[in-house]
Structure 1
């Protein structure tokens, strides 16, 4: 008996120690977690949304973009949505949301401890433990999950803090409404009301149980479970939601059977944008990047930060909405016909739309495009095997989206890879027009459709410029050596080391004036001129003319081997029309805050690069290109005023250019496919045939409405006082050079007769050409 008492006494201290340790660890854990959450709430692990945003998530006011003629062109807004109140959301949709996402939503205060523990012990296999409130936190404040584990933990903690703050400030009903209002169901369906209208042509309050379950199923992944793109997969996921509703007693077995057997019943139609659709997305993309950089510097200097998506700024641009529309119409007017012809030319070719590559390289290009799609990235992020993803891309589907000039099409029994191959055939374009006198940009068309081709071909894309670079070579020679337009240069074959440029028509001999050399884009003339001045001098002039793209230090740049942006080229050519004064192209005139205070004003960046005499000499040479050279087709469009210009075509015709100058408007056009291996074969890819017509259509429209813009065919280039007349070099040409029909391009006729003549050209041409 005594021994048992002694044993009991010996055990008791350990029991009490274990109990004390347990409570100590529990209290320490609670205090530790509380301390961590307090630290997060104080911003010690990074910034959190401010209280003002939490109390009023609708405080965001879009910044507005105005054209120079006073038209609201676009907005910087997080989203376009049709908000609904909780009372407008049908009860069965709320129950579907509970069943799928957070069945204990009404029992927790933003964080579901049971769900968190389940997620931890199950390694995330039974769900991530996020509540509806936490998901709203991620939507409202764009807290994105990081791949770095430590950062992911920090972000999760921030999400918890924001979720608890939301629970303190809003009712459960308000949180449900905000969550469904904020969710992006894609296809411009921001929020549940827009989604109901987009996918079912109904208001949200009129959705049936199965339709509501379909939208709730999309919350998991609106791309992967999209009923338009993946109807079978979407239906399976909808039925999982219905089964969850059955599990939690929101449906009885008979109702579950009834709704799960119903077809999806999709009646898809995208909502129209609140802003009249234009191609403004391209300059808006560039504007956003420039303004965000400006506001960052502004904040560093003045301590005030502006948010484009929240602060209700008014941005006044130099873009003229009428010219912008004319530019868009001109591109469509020309390329819609060219696209039909391109498909005809490529029909039946195993490598279409590419040339001079292997079938293995073609496959590599297409699969690289596949990996850039959002669908691929989404599937890859979910850990789906590469081979399985590839199978999905080659699988025929009920509906796949295609771009056409007539409008978007949804085609049956096509695969995503069919869509990728199709869009590799699409000819793209860029156009920029600016006033050379003040540097203001009047039109900016960065591409043909932002929804399909999110790449700006005005300032973002660098493409090989071909012969449009030659005027810089000529200007350097005139500036350095005081050559006149009548200065004679040998047209004999030229060779420097292993480089031996070829003339496009294969003819050599005699001499040519600078005026004729540039007019007919004769390669050996440009080669001789750059060999006299040296490439360094040409590169320096190009830099002075605003070109920041890298230019290699070799003689081949004379024929346009460099990759340069359309923005840079138009700015450089404008210097010639502005008497040798370079003005950096700009499209932002001023920015006002919501109170009307000006926070940025247009200040043109200018510098003198060339004398008035040299600039006017270049205008004379460029007018020669239009009068009797590669751009003589301009006159066949009824354009009679003073015009200078330069065509450009790169090797194999991958890039087609035309830059046209009038006294008050300089406009550049680039045309080509996304991949340089995709192009028209032969001579049809010339700048005179692919780019010049767009410029001509545009100027026809501008001149027709000339009074509105202060632009007329009677306008004259300003001539320096000490130059009495333009040069006539006809008496000094040697006569040894036969120009033939270079650039003598007639305005195309429509449809059949035009296609026949082009096909004749293509069938008699080889696939490779030298720089024009």
Structure 2
């Protein structure tokens, strides 16, 4: 056999050497890269970014926070047709290969060698895409591609096919902040995966390749091209569907549209409070960890609060007449309704008031175009409340507001009414008086118009609604509802010689009068005299027991007229002490927090008012946790309500209240601390019930309940209007005012501007709620003299008896009308 030429032998030897060196180099590179590959087992416990869900107390969705829309779904819950659409689009041999499709790689290499393109299709399996999505960056290089392939093979060795496919479906980006196929189905079609049709499944399967520039919303033409000319034919070729099914799906026009997950309970101010509180507790990334937060909000009461505020502010605003629209747009001469509607693109609806552009007016009324392009004519019935003619209401190009006049009739054709956004703002806070749980909150007329939460962030002067706190302090100093105080002019001078002459709103004076009547009639001068008698510093220290910061209470006699700057929430908390028997409860609104797996990470255990159980325990059980002793700042607010050593009144002279039956304590209960003596709380309850029966809040008698009480409040120049009160298990505060501190208008007192909102809300809140127990607590005595009946603390009986015997009968009402100014 002839010997090979020397040159050929050298060439062969050199080739083999190079091949061996190349193989060694590749092996070393592979070994080096493999040693640095991440642990794919971490994929089994990886936490995908998922929004934070906020729910009302009944589990209905109230808010959704997070940059990404993602609702992770188990692969077994993805319908087979949806799975096959993605397999046809991305990797038909997914269940046959071991992470790398060598046919696809060969095709990609051929294209690289025969074309000038640096990026070529093919070569990336679903497994490789998962490796890239979870572990690698977007760098385009051969080294990154090799790492991707090695990692894909490692994943195939250690993870199941369904696990990998599920990771792909949940991680992929579909455009418009939608991550994962479930979120994409909901956003583009408003459907669950099980509800998707074949054309919709194919449309979504074609989206991850071009999520921003080829999604069905932003570029339906490009998406349809991929659906009709690649995915559906390939599904048919692979036997996933029939040719007829493919043709039928192609015939369906593109119909994707944005579908935000529906909010079932409208409480945006509370939802934002939850977001802030969750960030404070769990960190800034809380909105991407899939927490499920259940709140204390009652959906029925929240809806009632929203309606009460909207109706009340509309009535208030209409009292002050129509205002000329303050915004105009330029309407092109040839603009059609849709072009006009686009002029409202950045004008949100507020409080049920929709924006509209006036296009003309005439004898038939005002013609407007709504944001959806529909044209409406507002006739005399729609504009009658304004007292203006159609031509005087608005001109072409004016932006006005309209609302549905028959919104309470579902299914009926809309009957539009012209309206306007009120200049005033409002806040409503409703708490469970015994636990402090927030049941409803409205922080303003419209969250879309202004996100400032006036219920928790606005500090305003409460006016006369502050007086019950002052009266409570006076009762602790020896005064009581039957005490006589002079309602007469008084002048105070400071060291600099300045004088202060407080006045009653009526301008007259009633002379000597009982403290009860002074609160019912809201007499300012009596409040001033009481504060002067007990001392300002004492009053500040005592009133702080209602939860107010002492440094925020004015250190002078003006405090008696409600000049402290307080939030509506803090006022509601203070009133809860009157309603629950003297306990200080802390407002709370997050009931529980669950992580994405459904495990509890937090559950509230609120401190609860419990007059009959604070000193009793079940046999063999530990006593309930008491947050604070009953002695506060030197004041003894014993749970039993009595005062040790107090002399019992003569049996023939009075009726003595009896201790209430004690009940066993749940050892898990946390008993709230005492704020005030329960007897003082009951006395103020009784007096505020009289405010409703015959004082400045008689309109609330329409509720038809004996356990309803409260106090109106207004400030100088009618800048603020308040009503705070209680009924059944709830304590509720309503504030009305303007953000710029301007006047609400002439005679806009608390009983006129705020009380109607309170009544409207409480009509719903008190439905089917049993009446509150009105029996006085232990340690009280009923005193009768000169036709006057009062329940007093037993230690006050002897001191007051002489006053009662000498006092003329004052059951008759004074001639002047009872007003509330401060």
Secondary structure (helix, strand or coil) at the match of 1:688 reads helix
Q: Distance in 2 between matches of 1:689 and 1:166?
A: 72
1:219-262 CA distance string (max 9 Å, x none): xxxxxxxx9xxxxxx9xxx9xx99xxxxxxxxxxxxxxxxxxxx
* Contact 1:515-1:621 at 8 Å conserved across structures: yes
1:98-127 CA distance string (max 9 Å, x none): xxxxx98879xxxxxxxxxxxxxxxxxxxx
Shift of 1:474: 1.5
Secondary structure (helix, strand or coil) at the match of 2:343 reads coil
Q: Distance in 1 between matches of 2:201 and 2:451?
A: 32
Report the equivalent of 1:727.
790
Q: Distance in 2 between matches of 1:534 and 1:417?
A: 58
Report the equivalent of 1:326.
304
Report the equivalent of 1:397.
343
2:271 aligned with 1:284, yes or no? yes
Shift of 1:632: 1.5
Q: Distance in 2 between matches of 1:630 and 1:660?
A: 13
Q: Distance in 1 between matches of 2:434 and 2:344?
A: 54
Shift of 1:418: 6.8
Q: How does 1:555-634 map to 2 (within 5 A)?
A: 555-593=557-595, 594=597, 596-597=599-600, 599-604=602-607, 606-634=672-700
Q: How does 1:302-701 map to 2 (within 5 A)?
A: 307=286, 309-313=288-292, 315=294, 317-339=295-317, 341=318, 345=321, 347-348=323-324, 397=343, 399-409=345-355, 411=357, 425-496=422-493, 497-508=498-509, 510-548=511-549, 550-593=552-595, 594=597, 596-597=599-600, 599-604=602-607, 606-635=672-701, 637-662=702-727, 664-677=729-742, 680-683=744-747, 685-701=748-764
Report the equivalent of 1:703.
766
Report the equivalent of 1:388.
none
Quickly say closer, same or farther: Cα 1:334–1:665, change in 2 above 3 A.
same
Shift of 1:651: 2.7
2:174 aligned with 1:181, yes or no? yes
Shift of 1:644: 1.7
* Contact 2:456-2:567 at 8 Å conserved across structures: yes
What are the ranges of 5 or more consecutive residues in structure 2 without an aligned counterpart?
1-35, 73-81, 90-116, 122-129, 156-163, 191-198, 223-253, 328-341, 358-368, 372-395, 402-418, 608-626, 628-671, 784-788, 792-803
- TM-score, normalised by the number of residues in structure 2: 0.53
Quickly say closer, same or farther: Cα 1:631–1:567, change in 2 above 3 A.
same
Report the equivalent of 1:274.
262
Quickly say closer, same or farther: Cα 1:663–1:196, change in 2 above 3 A.
closer
Shift of 1:742: 2.7
* Contact 1:485-1:621 at 8 Å conserved across structures: no
* Contact 1:491-1:512 at 8 Å conserved across structures: no
Q: Distance in 1 between matches of 2:308 and 2:452?
A: 20
- TM-score, normalised by the number of residues in structure 1: 0.56
- Of stretches 175-184 and 642-651 in structure 1, the one that deviates more from structure 2 is 175-184
* Contact 1:520-1:739 at 8 Å conserved across structures: no
* Contact 1:490-1:509 at 8 Å conserved across structures: yes
* Contact 1:520-1:630 at 8 Å conserved across structures: yes
Q: Distance in 1 between matches of 2:704 and 2:718?
A: 26
Equivalent pairs counted in the alignment come to 546
* Contact 1:282-1:450 at 8 Å conserved across structures: yes
Report the equivalent of 2:635.
none
* Contact 1:401-1:410 at 8 Å conserved across structures: no
Q: Distance in 1 between matches of 2:712 and 2:507?
A: 19
Q: Distance in 1 between matches of 2:761 and 2:470?
A: 28
1:373-403 CA distance string (max 9 Å, x none): xxxxxxxxxxxxxxxxxxxxxxx93544243
Secondary structure (helix, strand or coil) at the match of 2:297 reads coil
Secondary structure (helix, strand or coil) at the match of 1:463 reads coil
* Contact 1:192-1:204 at 8 Å conserved across structures: no
Aligned Cα RMSD in Å? 5.8
Shift of 1:470: 1.4
2:817 aligned with 1:740, yes or no? yes
Shift of 1:645: 0.5
Shift of 1:569: 0.8
Shift of 1:529: 1.9
Quickly say closer, same or farther: Cα 1:325–1:723, change in 2 above 3 A.
farther
Task: Give the structure with the higher percent helix.
Answer: 1
Q: Distance in 2 between matches of 1:484 and 1:203?
A: 73
Shift of 1:662: 2.5
2:774 aligned with 1:716, yes or no? yes
Quickly say closer, same or farther: Cα 1:321–1:464, change in 2 above 3 A.
same
Shift of 1:619: 1.6
Shift of 1:576: 1.5
Secondary structure (helix, strand or coil) at the match of 1:698 reads helix
Secondary structure (helix, strand or coil) at the match of 2:525 reads helix
Q: Distance in 2 between matches of 1:453 and 1:564?
A: 20
Q: How does 1:47-86 map to 2 (within 5 A)?
A: 58=48, 60=50, 62-63=52-53, 65-67=55-57, 70-74=58-62, 76-78=64-66, 79-80=68-69
Task: Give the structure with the higher percent strand.
Answer: 2
Shift of 1:216: 5.0
Question: Highest Rg: 1 or 2?
Answer: 2
What are the ranges of 5 or more consecutive residues in structure 1 without an aligned counterpart?
1-37, 43-49, 92-102, 108-132, 141-155, 219-226, 228-233, 243-265, 297-304, 353-395, 744-770
- Of stretches 645-654 and 403-412 in structure 1, the one that deviates more from structure 2 is 403-412
Quickly say closer, same or farther: Cα 1:398–1:336, change in 2 above 3 A.
closer
1:615-659 CA distance string (max 9 Å, x none): 222122212221221111211x24232222011112333322111
Secondary structure (helix, strand or coil) at the match of 1:443 reads strand
Q: Distance in 2 between matches of 1:449 and 1:675?
A: 16
* Contact 1:476-1:538 at 8 Å conserved across structures: yes
Quickly say closer, same or farther: Cα 1:445–1:104, change in 2 above 3 A.
farther
